[in-house]
Structure formats: C-alpha cells, structure tokens
Amino acid sequence: MAAAGAVLDLSIDGADPTSVVVKDAQHHPVRGETVHIDFLRVRLDIPIQAIVPLELHGAEESPGVKAGGILEQITRELNIEALPTSIPSAITHDVTTLEIGETLLLEAIEAPEGVTLLDDLQETVVATLTPPRLQSEAEPDVETETEIVGEGGAEAGADGAADGSSDDAAGE
C-alpha cells in the first residue's frame, strides 16, 4: 500500500496512466487485508487538501520531561494543502526545548516548503507538558476501610456460627 498522500500512476485495462492518490481504503476487520480502495484523480499542477500525521521528536531530552513532566500530544494529524507531489508522508517537530507548563500551538510547527497548514494556527493545541500528578493519600484509606468492612462481615458470620445458641434454641 502506498504512503498517505503518495501520487500513483493508475492504468486500467492498458489505458494511458493517470495520476491518482488514495482517498480511502477499507480493510477486512479480522484478516486486515485490503478489500476496497477509493482513488482520487489529481492534476499535478493544482493543490489538494490532505491529512498527514504529526510526529513529535526529542521528548526524552526536553527539560520538562526530565523533571518528571508528562508530554501529551493532543493533535496527531494535520490538515494541509499542497501540490500532490509535495504532500509529505509526515510532518515532524522537535520538542527538546519544552518546559513543564508549556503548551505547543500549531503556529510553532514549521510546514515544509510548498505545504500550507489549514488548521487555526493560534487556536490548535498540538501538545502540552504538564507537571507530574501526585498520588492522593485517600487511596490507602479506601483500601483500609474496605478491609475493615470485609473483616467485620466475616467476624459477624464467624461469631454467629461459633455461638450456635440460636440454632440450639430453634431446635428445642
């Protein structure tokens, strides 16, 4: 299968090839094999819109992650416009300078030459680097309460069975 945005030359029954891109592909739910493909005929001199993956690199080296922060990538795909031959397989961005509490917006992403980002540059959040979450101290209390309630029920059942007085009284 061709990479997303790849321009293919399609020839049907020996006719002259025409330039196409894969518009949609359907896969068998169990075997994963391709069962249907929709192609879109394109002109190589007219820009088209496409969706490409966004890959963030260098998270492990960023000061925020080293300090225990958690990098969460919010936007994983970008809407772009480009000539069919200029559509990248992915757009990458380096996040090695992110600090805890910073938010990466789409305006910080540099699009390759000939590629226009279509999403709102100032409003689209790409990633956030949040401080580590502290575990609350309430969790051990809940477990302790559960053990006490469970033990209390077991003790009550054991006392009633050990006593035996109610069974003897009922039998007489």
Q: What is the CATH number of the domain that holds 98?
A: 2.170.120.20
pLDDT score at 40 = 86
Q: List pLDDT tens digits, range 98-123.
A: 999 999 999 999 999 999 999 999 99
- Tokens representing 22 are 């894969």
How many angstroms separate the Cα of 66 from the Cα of each of 18, 55, 59, 102?
51, 20, 9, 14
Are both 34 and 105 inside the same structural domain? no
pLDDT score at 152 = 54
85 in any annotated domain: yes
What residue numbers bound the domain in which 154 lies?
Answer: 47-161
166 in any annotated domain: no
The neighbouring-strand residues paired with 21 are 40
Among residues of the chain, what percentage have pLDDT more than 90? Answer: 59
pLDDT score at 6 = 77
148 in any annotated domain: yes
Higher pLDDT, 44 or 158: 44
Give CA–CA dist 130/62, Å, rounded: 13
Check: pTM over 0.75? Answer yes or no.
no
With a CB cutoff of 8 Å and minimum separation 6, the contacts of 65 are 59, 71, 98, 129
Q: List pLDDT tens digits, range 69-103.
A: 999 999 999 999 999 999 999 999 999 999 999 99
169 in any annotated domain: no
